[in-house]
């Protein structure tokens, strides 16, 4: 078969001094860091929607990029051309995973039975393409936000019929995820929220979302899905307020509804910053709850209040992300580039440059995070910071169980407050810079 990206070579690692725009400067798949290869640390994934579907349309203008891949858009021939393009793209970059929404794969028909038939046909084709490659599905999901029927929510809709449509899509998307061997299944609640509380029964809506998730777990397990379900928190956009606001909120919801054994978090960097958190904060909250599952690797723009889904270039942020990931012992999921080219970056070459940038950014993040851990100064500082709980009798008592009575008596004997200890932030930031720039 003739190539779609015929003028783009196989992308290889050439090292930091290379000036070749089609080479990795830092991502060296087989390089071993802290006992694992970079490829094992960084299961990168291509997002079907941004890479193969989105062509630059925004609120003010139409497509700027040609994503027809030689076929007429809106046809099954085009759906197959996207598969061909996607597999060639992944192979040329050494990417071994992809993520998809049901309707990224085929043109949606008016009748759900016809959409499902098309999905069967295209996933047969994807399975064929997977043969003889290392390419696998990272996670699947159902798009329950684009179709106008979901304007007032999917799991949180006021309409029992719309709820059934949502259930049908979840059921099918789960079947497809199992068919393609997906590691995970994502719920991103784009329309699961509200515009005004004047028309919203919040408790009823949240209980209904939990019912849908419980049915998904039950069905998924019954058809052999052994992976993790994920919630991908996002505070707003498209809705004014979304129920899965941030990791802490989503984890609380999962625990309240007894879903915490089957679910983990899929943390997206740009969603974290929209929630007023750092990316690292969301990762830490997930990790300390044993729920750091997967990552949507992108970045936002601090000057803009919406989800710009930019390819990650911020090495500080990637380093602090990888610090959390290494400390958590890795991901059960992977790093999905839920990122899109800027609208004026409209050539096929730009698609490759974006992934080279993003993969190199995370490779650097991994190298620097490992160096930060091996350096030990940050860990040492944090350990020392809390040492009054581990090195003193009273501290040990607090950890092992005591009473307010005993602690109050101890405080009375102290006389004055003990010397406050420095938080050392500027020192630690200079350690970080020292690791970053050597």
Which residues of the chain form contacts with Co ion (CB under 5 A)?
Answer: 268, 296, 338
Letter string b/e over residues 114-143, b meaning 16 or more CB atoms within 10 A of that residue's CB: ebbebbeebbebbeebbeeeebbbbbbbbb
> Is 104 designated active site?
yes
- Residue 163: CB atoms within 10 A of its CB come to 18
Q: Examine residue 141 and tell whether it contacts ligand XUL (CB under 6 A).
A: yes
401 to 73, 385, 389: CA distances (angstroms): 66, 21, 12
**Which residue from 92, 234, 277, 340 is in contact with ligand XUL, where contact means CB under 6 A?**
234
CB of 188 to Co ion, least distance (A): 6
CB nearest ligand XUL: which residue? Answer: 188
* DSSP summary character for residue 428: H
**239's tokens:** 């809705």
CB of 291 to ligand XUL, least distance (A): 17
Rank residues 232 and 246 by Cβ distance to ligand XUL and give the closer one: 232
Rank residues 262 and 338 by Cβ distance to Co ion and give the closer one: 338
Catalytic, out of 102, 104, 262, 296: 104
**Which residue from 81, 174, 186, 295 is in contact with ligand XUL, where contact means CB under 6 A?**
186
Which helix (H) or strand (E) segment holds residue 105: the answer is: helix 102-105
> What DSSP string runs through 1-52?
---SSTT-PPPEE--TT---TTEESS--TT-EETTEEHHHH--EEEEHIIII
Q: Examine residue 244 and tell whether it contacts ligand XUL (CB under 6 A).
A: no
Number of residues that bind ligand XUL (CB under 6 A): 10
**Which residue from 307, 310, 324, 360 is in contact with ligand XUL, where contact means CB under 6 A?**
307
**Which residue from 338, 341, 355, 432 is in contact with ligand XUL, where contact means CB under 6 A?**
338
* 97 strand-pairing partners: 45, 136
- Residue 212: CB atoms within 10 A of its CB come to 19
Cis preceding-peptide flag for 248 (omega within 30 of 0): no
Catalytic, out of 78, 101, 271, 281: 101
Q: Examine residue 67 and tell whether it contacts ligand XUL (CB under 6 A).
A: no
CB of 293 to Co ion, least distance (A): 13
**Which residue from 268, 282, 310, 360 is in contact with ligand XUL, where contact means CB under 6 A?**
268
Strands (E), 184-262: 184-187, 193-194, 228-231, 241-242
Catalytic machinery residues = 101, 104
Which residues are at the interface with ligand XUL (CB under 6 A)? 101, 141, 186, 188, 232, 234, 268, 296, 307, 338
């Amino acid at each position: 078969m003739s190539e779609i990206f015929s003028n783009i070579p196989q992308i290889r690692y050439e090292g930091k001094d290379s000036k070749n725009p089609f080479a990795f400067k830092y991502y060296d798949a087989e390089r071993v860091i802290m006992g694992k290869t970079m490829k094992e640390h960084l299961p990168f994934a291509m997002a079907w929607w941004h890479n193969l579907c989105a062509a630059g349309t925004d609120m003010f203008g139409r497509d700027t990029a040609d994503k027809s891949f030689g076929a007429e858009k809106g046809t099954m021939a085009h759906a197959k051309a996207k598969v061909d393009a996607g597999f060639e793209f992944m192979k040329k970059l050494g990417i071994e995973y992809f993520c998809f929404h049901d309707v990224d794969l085929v043109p949606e028909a008016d009748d759900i039975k016809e959409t499902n038939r098309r999905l069967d046909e295209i996933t047969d084709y994807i399975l064929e393409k997977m043969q003889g490659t290392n390419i696998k599905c990272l996670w699947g999901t159902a798009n329950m936000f684009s179709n106008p029927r979901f304007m007032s929510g999917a799991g949180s809709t006021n309409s029992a019929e719309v709820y059934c449509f949502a259930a049908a899509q979840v059921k099918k998307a789960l079947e497809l995820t199992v068919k393609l061997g997906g590691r995970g299944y994502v719920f991103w609640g784009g329309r699961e929220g509200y515009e005004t509380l004047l028309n919203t029964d919040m408790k009823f809506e949240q209980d209904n979302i939990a019912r849908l998730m419980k049915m998904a777990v039950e069905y998924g397990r019954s058809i052999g899905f052994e992976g993790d379900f994920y919630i991908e928190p996002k505070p707003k956009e498209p809705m004014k307020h979304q129920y899965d606001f941030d990791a802490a909120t989503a984890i609380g919801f999962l625990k309240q509804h007894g879903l915490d054994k089957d679910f983990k978090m899929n943390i997206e960097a740009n969603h974290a910053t929209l929630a007023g958190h750092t990316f690292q904060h969301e990762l830490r909250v997930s990790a300390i709850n044993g729920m750091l599952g997967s990552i949507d690797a992108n970045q936002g723009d601090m000057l803009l209040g919406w989800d710009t889904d930019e390819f990650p270039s911020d090495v500080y942020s990637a380093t602090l992300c990888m610090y959390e990931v290494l400390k958590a012992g890795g991901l059960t999921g992977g790093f999905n580039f839920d990122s899109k080219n800027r609208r004026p970056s409209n050539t096929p070459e730009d698609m490759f440059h974006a992934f080279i940038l993003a993969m190199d950014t995370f490779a650097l993040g991994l190298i620097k995070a490992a160096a930060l851990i091996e350096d030990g100064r940050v860990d040492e500082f944090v350990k020392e910071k809390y040492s009054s709980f581990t090195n003193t009798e009273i501290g040990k008592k607090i950890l092992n169980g005591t009473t307010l009575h005993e602690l109050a008596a101890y405080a009375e004997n102290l006389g004055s407050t003990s010397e406050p200890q420095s938080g050392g932030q500027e020192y630690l930031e200079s350690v970080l810079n020292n690791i970053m720039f050597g």
